[in-house]
Amino acid sequence: MNRVIEVRNLSKRYGETVAVEDLSFTVRPGRVTGFLGPNGAGKSTTMRMILGLDRPTGGRALIDGEPFARLAEPLRRVGALLETTAAHGGRRARDHLRWLARSNRIPERRTAEVLRMTGLENVARRRVKGFSLGMGRRLGLAAALLGDPAVLLLDEPLNGLDPQGILWMRNLMRDLAAEGRTVFVSSHLMSEMALTADHLVVIAGGRLLADTTAAAFVAANSRAYVRIRTPEPERMRDALAGAGIAAVAAPDGALEAEGAEPARIGELAAAHGLVVHEVAARESSLEEAFMRLTGEAR
C-alpha cells in the first residue's frame, strides 16, 4: 500500500459552468497536504470526485492506483470528513458509527475508541439533530477515523470549531501525518494552512495554481517592503526615485518602497531634509499573497 492520492487531468463541468478544469496533482503520505483555494474554487467538488461521489467529466482520481469505488472495504483505507454533516438527525451518534462499522466489517469496539478520541463519549447516545456545528464536525471526524485508514480526506475540518478545537484538530492532523498517513485537508484560509500544512496544492477557478512545499510557497509569494509615512509624500517619492528605489502609495497615504533597507531610506530622508513619521520594514502576510495569487487567476 503506497497511500497515494493521484488526481490526473480531472475535470468537472455542469453544463456551461466549469467547476474543475484539467486538474493534476499527487498527494503523498507522511505529511499534511493543504488543499487551498477561495470559496467556490472547486475544492469540495474535487474531493467528492476522489471519493467517487461525483462523476468527473474528464480525467481520473486514483487511490493507490485504483478508483475509490474499486476499493474493498474502503473505510479501512480512506477516511473522509465531508463539508456537510453526513449523518441523519434522528439517529444517535453511536448508532451512526455502528452502521458505518458494520458496512466495512470494522470491529464494534472501534466506535467507542473514535468517540473517545474525538471527545464525544458523553454525547454518544444523543441524537445528531441536537449537535452544534463543532460537535457535528467531531462526529464526522470520528466516522473518518473509524476504519483506522492510512489516507484521510478532510474538507474544511476547522469550520465551526472553537479556538481550542482548532488547536486540537491541527495537532491531530500533524500527528496523523507523523504516523505515516496521507492527510489531505482543504481550507479557504491561508493562515490556517500555513500553521498546519507541509505541502500546498493551491487552486482557483477550478485550475491548479501551485503545487509546492508550504515554505517555498511562502518564500515565492511573500513580499518585503519598507513602509514610510511622511507629510511630504511627493518629495519623498522623488528622492526615492532619484536613488533608484521604486515606491507605491498605500491606501492610507503611506508609501511602500521595495528593494531597500529602512536605514538607507532614513539616510535619504535626512539628505533631502524630509520629515518622516514612520520607517518600518514589513512583510506582506500569507493571506495577502494568497489573495493576490488567487485574485490574478480570476
Partner 1 sequence: MSAGRAALRAEWVKIRTGRSTGWTLVLTFVLCVGLAVLLGLSMRGGFDRMDAGARANFDPVLVGFYGLLIGEIAFVAFGVLFVGSEYTSGMIRASLTAVPRRGVFYGAKMLTGALTASVFSLATGFATFFTAQAALGPHGVTLGSAGALRATLLACAHLTLMCLFAMGVAAIARGTALPLGIMIPLLFLDSQGLGNAPGIRTVAQYLPDQVGMVMMRAVPARPDAIDHRAFGPWTGLGVLVLWAAAAVVGGYLVLRRRDA
Residues that bind partner 1 (CB under 8 A): 48, 51-55, 68-69, 71-75, 78, 80, 82, 84-92, 95-96, 98-100, 102-105, 127, 143
CB of 22 to partner 1, least distance (A): 19
Whichever of 142 and 269 has its CB closer to partner 1, that residue is 142
* CA-based end-to-end distance of the chain: 38
Checking DSSP bridges between strand 78-81 and strand 151-155, what pairing results, if any? parallel
Whichever of 72 and 164 has its CB closer to partner 1, that residue is 72
Whichever of 98 and 174 has its CB closer to partner 1, that residue is 98
CB of 120 to partner 1, least distance (A): 16
Report the C-alpha gap between 260 and 279 in whole angstroms.
11
CB of 224 to partner 1, least distance (A): 44
Whichever of 70 and 292 has its CB closer to partner 1, that residue is 70
Amino acid at 128: V
Whichever of 27 and 47 has its CB closer to partner 1, that residue is 47
Whichever of 67 and 180 has its CB closer to partner 1, that residue is 67
CB of 277 to partner 1, least distance (A): 55
CB of 20 to partner 1, least distance (A): 13
Checking DSSP bridges between strand 207-213 and strand 199-204, what pairing results, if any? antiparallel
Whichever of 92 and 235 has its CB closer to partner 1, that residue is 92
Report the C-alpha gap between 200 and 193 in whole angstroms.
8
Three cell numbers written together for 19 = 467547476
Sheet holding 224-229, edge to edge: 246-249, 255-258, 224-229, 278-283
CB of 162 to partner 1, least distance (A): 23
Whichever of 82 and 260 has its CB closer to partner 1, that residue is 82
